[in-house]
Amino acid sequence: MQFFSFFLSLGLLLTVIISNGLDSPEPRLRESADFPVGVAINPKRLAQTDYAQVVGREFSSITAENVMKPQYIWAAERQYDFSLGDSLLEFAQAHNQQVHGHTLAWHLMQPDWLENTIDSYDSATLENLLRDYIQATVKHYRGKVVSWDVVNEAVSSGGKGWRNSVYHQKLGDDYVARCHQYAREADPDVLLFYNDYDVIASSEKLATILAMVDDFQSRNIPIDGIGLQMHIRLDFSLDKFQYALDEIVKRNLKVHLSEVDIRTNPDGELSTLTEEAAQQQQELLAAIVQRYQQLPAENKFAITFWGLRDNESWLTKHTGHPQWPLLFNENFSKKPMYQGFLDGLDANQTQLD
Ligand code: XIL
């Protein structure tokens, strides 16, 4: 009898294990990480059912790839059109996702009317218009977006000092600080980020940004975090990455890996993604996520991928070649890079050391 019940229990146990194994859903990014996992999207694509399903299922944060930039919102002097951003927000609310605002001030992607008139404004006129734009936009999205990239790419491309943009020329060295103050006046709670590219590759750019942060903090200019864009290649330096993370954490700021994509075809010699490149991409993302995962919880803001599928990445046009830089391929299938993200979350991974 005892013998029989032993086999019965064993059978039950096996049934439970097997059926759980079959039923248990595959891991989703948004449930696997204890920080938000984001994707940059274009609201027009949400009309495609497959696209909307994957975005809703996998991600807990959304950034507008374009439609919350001045080019889309700033319709005319003191006139704003929030309709496309609002549609993105509706989707996010329906899928329990946070929204990161990108971006209030940038020297690129301005509306044509502003491009055409900006040189003719005197400093005070431009400052007033920019303040009105920032405050109207931040107020419109108050309580709806968790964060903003206030000024995007304000440091010179070489990394030393401010970029010689029309904003810098007309508004002077302290305009980034004032933009932060305008945003804070419009929303006391929204998190304010400074966002830039090549911050890991260029030690000079990192130094300029850290000096800006030190200056802001010494003068009580509000800043909550740094957005590291992470448009990177397979030769990315993990040592420099770790150094940048440590320096940002020392300053009690949040880190947003804000626009992650990993180029696999910098010179355009590949006509298809090779297995080797896909694997290198997987390992690199795992190592990046592993280091990010080890940050103190309060310093982890989010990791955001700059697009969903390889075929829609901005890099094809920007670099002139396909780069296969994202987590999903054209058919919405997960690439090895997707597994790399999950691997990185597991701090016990030894293969990464
Ligand atoms: C890019 C978009 O992905 C493209 O669709 C658009 O044509 C140009 O802008 N750094 C940024 C992003 O901060 O806003 C840029 O997005 C990519 C580089």
Q: Kindly tell me if the per-residue pLDDT of 15 is higher than 90.
A: no
pLDDT of 13 reads: 53
Q: Tell me, using a 6 A CB cutoff, whether residue 65 lines ligand 1.
A: yes
Tally Cβ neighbours within 10 Å of residue 128. Answer: 13
* Nearest ligand 1 atom, CA 195: 13
198 torsion bin: left (phi>0), alpha (psi -120 to 50), beta (else): left
pLDDT tens digits for range 94-135: 999 999 999 999 999 999 999 999 999 999 999 999 999 999
Q: Tell me, using a 6 A CB cutoff, whether residue 283 lines ligand 1.
A: no
Q: Tell me, using a 6 A CB cutoff, whether residue 45 lines ligand 1.
A: no
Atom 9 of ligand 1: nearest residue by CA position = 66
Question: Phi, psi at residue 58, to the nearest 5°?
Answer: -95, -25
CA of 346 to the centre of ligand 1 (A): 31
Euclidean distance between CA atoms 321 and 316, whole angstroms: 5
Percentage of the chain lying above the pLDDT 70 cut: 91
Q: Tell me, using a 6 A CB cutoff, whether residue 63 lines ligand 1.
A: no
Q: What is the mean pLDDT of residues 73-87?
A: 98
**Ligand 1 pocket test target in 39, 41, 66 with most atoms within 8 Å of CB:** 66
pLDDT tens digits for range 30-46: 999 999 999 999 999 99
Q: Tell me, using a 6 A CB cutoff, whether residue 261 lines ligand 1.
A: no
Q: Kindly tell me if the per-residue pLDDT of 217 is higher than 90.
A: yes
pLDDT tens digits for range 286-315: 999 999 999 999 999 999 999 999 999 999
pLDDT of 26 reads: 85
Domain 2-352 belongs to what topology?
Answer: TIM Barrel (3.20.20)
pLDDT tens digits for range 247-279: 999 999 999 999 999 999 999 999 999 999 999
pLDDT tens digits for range 319-341: 999 999 999 999 999 999 999 99
Top pLDDT among 249 and 24 is at 249
Quick one: how far is CA 136 from the chain centroid?
23
Ordered by start, the domain boundaries in the chain are 2-352
Q: What is the mean pLDDT of residues 213-227?
A: 98
pLDDT tens digits for range 167-200: 999 999 999 999 999 999 999 999 999 999 999 9
Atom 12 of ligand 1: nearest residue by CA position = 65
Q: Tell me, using a 6 A CB cutoff, whether residue 314 lines ligand 1.
A: yes
pLDDT of 3 reads: 54
